Amino acid sequence: MTPFERAAIKLARDALDVEAAQREDWLRQQCGEDAALTARVHALLRQIELDGDAATCAPDDADPLLGASLGPFRVLQRIGRGGMGVVYRGERVGEDFRQQVALKLIRRGFDFDDIRARFLRERRILARLDHPNLARFIDGGVGNDGRPWFALEYVQGTPITRWCDEHRLGLRARMRLLLQVCAAVQYAHAQLVVHRDLKPGNILVDAAGHVHLLDFGIARLLGDDDAGDAATTLAQRSVLTPGYAAPEQFGGATAGVATDVYALGVVAYELVAGALPHVVAAHDLAAAAKVLREQPPSSLTQALARDGQALAQQRLQARDTSLAAFRRSVRGDLARILDTALAAEPARRYPSVQALADDLKRWLAGEPVQVSGTAMGYRLRKFVARNRLALALGLVALVALVGGLGATLWQMREARIQRNDALAAARRADAVRDYLMLLLGDASAQKDASRVDVREVFHRGAQRLRDEFRDQPEAGQTAALMLSDLFLQVADLDGASALLEQLLQWPGIEANPTVLAHARYNLAQIEMNRGHAQRAGELLRQAQAWWHGQPGAAAVLLNESRSTQARLERAQGHPEQAIATLRSAVAERARLLARPDFESGNLLNALAIALLQDGDYEQAQARASDSHAVFVALGRADSDGALAALNSRCNAAVMLGQHESCLEDYRLIADKTRALYGEGPKLAAALHNLGAVLTRVGRYEEALPILVQARDIATAQTGPRSPLTVTLMVALAELQALRGEAATGLGLADTAIAIASADYAANKNLLGAAYRARAQAQRAAGHMAAARADVAQAGALFAQTGRSGAAYARQLEPLRAAVAEP
């Protein structure tokens, strides 16, 4: 191809991106006095018009390919075009299957040698890639007119920026979605493929929130010999997208891993701020290159407001945030991450996409990021911030110990009263204080203290407990119990269990009955959480037996243990007895104490949960309200106990059909749970409740990203087969069916039924809900007989669970009526 022809093709392609009304003026400016070049560009544009444009052609416009065949595929519809290529929706029909594909060809009039070579290279690259976030290569060949083609998985999706805006995703959810893109790009790099054209238009998100990376049209293999020749360089410059291209792409330097890192930085920046990091002229590559090389990116807050106050407010609304909250979110680590990815010099960027993804994960987890340096002050701030709950509990104990107060062990727990005989001796208090200081000192002395997890600190402390307290066994036993409490606060059941088992075997522990009783009680709670009801009962009875024989404070401890006793009774199939135990415990605590305390609120909420599980929703709602009122009166409206009570009250209201009244409370619970615990199972459960209620009131598009986020968190934190993950599969299956995405809903429901049947067959309500979700999906697909069968199966399962199942059965009735035979 001659330089003249190459220049004409570049101008014709660029002209497609100019509004039709301004196109002639733009061409005059670009071509100047060169009449031949102007004429050739016009000829190419006319050829393009003959070829057609999915955005402007009506369905009945003539197109010789429509209805024709490419290999085994029939061409059905033109769905898009790029500067040099055109894409159709195609279909292959077999005896028992029908497959939709995307068919890509070179546009007529552009089948030049270098464009053909680039197209064939794209086909070869796609054929070697296989990743869940990449459109799957299916087939390829040559058409009757000599143009090569290939078929890819047909993706129905929306550009990632628009999808996030339409679903009002917050900044954290946007970065989680970007991690899917990073995974695909990192995989491509591992196959020695650099994409070189990463931008939102090539990153689609489907209805289920799954990312698909497309268009490897200017991709190259690392180490390709022809990658740096003049023709390839010119072709590459003619098709790059200036707003997302790295500075080196403008100058003809070989594009490598750092080029894709930069583009991902631009996409991340746009997801966060709603604007690009630089303002560049799309049709003046020299000016764009100068801006990128010489000007740093705008701050994220500046970019947000770059296009005026009205648009800035729209962007904030699309991110479900306020300006103040946005500024807090983008200050510090997130800005450092993006600045590193967007460095003008490739050597200053992240060395790999994986390194970028790892820092994004650290930011999401509240951990220190790699690009923030290793200064001790920074690392300790991050250590304390990430472990603020556990360290706060430890410091409560430390303050009490330093003050020499009696029974300071029990002050670690908010609902505990003084144990007058636990730590009467100041020397024991000093010993435990020194031990705690040793643990925290070890954390800050680590080479990278900010990366040390608090669980690691506790585990190291547990390993050397016996040696530290060889000469002070009672103080050592007290410290072990204190440390087991800390393990429980950070949800490390294994760490707490191992330490408590060690404590029960500690020589001379019988001489310290206060610690022994409480160790047994803690271990009983852990065994209940693991489903080991028999051993939990034995340990609980041993602890209660000792408390029964003690005067004063032991009566309050015995009262607190009734909550675990009720859980045990429910697990043994005695729900009425569990409710009676909790009613008695609530009344007894009112007699024991002058005014309600934190544990009073917890007992009331335990009663609410028991009533909820028994199907007595009015009483459950009332007791949950009483529990919440206790926490508010204590000035603890933001505590975990208050959140749990509020959640129970909302759950009861939902079962009573009061969906709308719970929406704002569920949002509050989710926000505060995120602040207290970060991204873990508690947040996933809170988001499930919010998404499920949004589904019930018909706000499907708002519910989708919430449930997808909850499913992703649950899968990562609790595993793909946990009860929480299966519950979220059920919720997503029902939502997708209601949105009309029958195939997606069926797939989710089938998976949920398979797991629930295999792992949780005893949980009839969960399995019934899965069948109900599948019935919704069958109905959306028009399979009424199958839907009726699933409704019947769900009803039969709900009928086996007494009063709690009756509420689910009532919710099933509208669906039963909808699929009934006429």
Q: What is the DSSP letter of 212?
A: E
The reply to whether 790 belongs to the active site is no
Cβ-proximal residues to 177 (8 Å cutoff; 6+ apart), any chain: 160, 164, 169, 205, 209, 211, 271
Q: What are the tokens at 341?
A: 């990815």
Q: Which run of H or E residues covers position 713?
A: helix 700-718
Q: How many CA atoms lie within 13 A of 113 on its CB side?
A: 6
Residue 30: name the closest of 252, 281, 284 by CA. 284
3-class DSSP state for residue 86?
A: strand
Give the integer Cα–Cα distance in Å for 308 and 305.
6
Give the integer Cα–Cα distance in Å for 101 and 99.
7
- The amino acid at residue 432 is V
Q: Which run of H or E residues covers position 792?
A: helix 784-798
Residue with tokens 């209620």: 693
Give the integer Cα–Cα distance in Å for 491 and 484.
11
| Per annotation, catalytic residue among 14, 51, 165, 197 | 197
Give the integer Cα–Cα distance in Å for 790 and 784.
10
Q: Which run of H or E residues covers position 134?
A: none
Say if residue 97 is exposed, middle or buried (CB neighbours under 10 Å; 0-12, 13-18, 19+). exposed
Say if residue 368 is exposed, middle or buried (CB neighbours under 10 Å; 0-12, 13-18, 19+). buried
Round to the nearest angstrom and report the end-to-end CA distance of the chain. 68
3-class DSSP state for residue 92?
A: strand
Give the integer Cα–Cα distance in Å for 180 and 174.
10
Give the integer Cα–Cα distance in Å for 609 and 575.
11
Query: How many residues are listed for the chain in this entry?
Result: 822
Q: What are the tokens at 704?
A: 């989708």
Instruction: Report phi then psi at 763, rounded to 5.
Output: -90, 80
Give the integer Cα–Cα distance in Å for 189 and 209.
24
Beta bridge partners of 88: 78, 103
Q: Under a CB-based contact definition with an 8 Å cutoff, are residues 707 and 731 in contact? A: yes
Beta bridge partners of 137: 152
Residue with tokens 């075009």: 81
Cβ-proximal residues to 512 (8 Å cutoff; 6+ apart), any chain: 473, 474, 477, 478
3-class DSSP state for residue 507?
A: coil
Give the integer Cα–Cα distance in Å for 106 and 60.
22
Q: Under a CB-based contact definition with an 8 Å cutoff, are residues 143 and 126 in contact? A: no
Q: How many CA atoms lie within 13 A of 275 on its CB side?
A: 21
Query: CA separation (Å) from 472 to 424, 499, 514?
Result: 14, 18, 16
Q: Under a CB-based contact definition with an 8 Å cutoff, are residues 489 and 393 in contact? A: yes
Say if residue 34 is exposed, middle or buried (CB neighbours under 10 Å; 0-12, 13-18, 19+). middle
Q: What is the DSSP letter of 220?
A: E
Catalytic machinery residues? 197
